[in-house]
Amino acid sequence: MSDKSFYINPLPVCTEIYGAENVNDVRDCFVDSIYRYNGPESSMYRDEINKTVQCSMVDILKQAGKNPKAVRLALSPSHLQPAFFITRYLETRDVEKAYHLALQDCGDNEDFKRQCYIDMRALIPSGEAQPKHIQNQPFPKNKVSPYK
C-alpha cells in the first residue's frame, strides 16, 4: 500500500488479538494505540478520546455479550510507548515498508512488535466503512511524530 487516505481504528485488531470477552485488555490496547498515533499532548486526546473510547466500549461489550448500560469502564491510563510503526509510516508513507522497518526497530522485543502490528492494522483505508464515532479522526497527512 502506498500513500492513501486512512482513518485510525484499532478496535478490530485489538478485539481480534485479545478477544471480545477480555474487555479491559481490548480497551487498553485501543487507548494505547490512539495515544501512539496522537501523542499524549494532542488536542484530540484532551477533547475527544474519552467519547471515542466510550463509544468503542459499547461495541466491545456488545461483542462480549454484556449489557453496555450495566457496565461502566473507566478510561485506562495509557502507557506511553515507542511508536515505531507510526514514526516509520510518517517517514515512508508506505504501510508495508513502514511495518518492516518498524519490526527492525523493535529488535527482539515482542511487546513492541505486537504494538507495531496493532498500529499497522489500525490504519483503515478511508474508502472502507467507518464507525460513526471514528469518522472525525483521520490520520493527518502532514503530521510529524511527537515521539522523535
pLDDT in tens, 75-106: 655 566 789 999 999 899 899 999 999 999 99
> Rounded to an integer, what distance in angstroms lies between the CA atom of residue 23 and that of residue 65?
11
| Tens place of pLDDT per residue across the chain (148 aa) | 444 677 888 988 998 999 888 888 888 888 888 888 877 655 555 556 666 667 777 777 777 787 766 666 666 555 667 899 999 998 998 999 999 999 999 999 999 999 999 999 998 877 655 444 444 444 444 444 333 3
Report domain extents, the chain: 6-134
User: For residue 145, what pLDDT is reported?
Assistant: 38
Q: What is the 3-state secondary structure (H, E, C) of 43-76?
A: HHHHHHHHHHHHHHHHHHHHHCCCCCCCCCCCCC
Take residue 135 and report the three cell numbers written for it: 469518522
Cα dist from 41 to 19, 37, 58, whole Å: 30, 11, 26
Q: Is the pTM of this model over 0.75?
A: no
> Rounded to an integer, what distance in angstroms lies between the CA atom of residue 77 and that of residue 65?
25
Residues 10, 116 contacting (CB under 8 angstroms): no
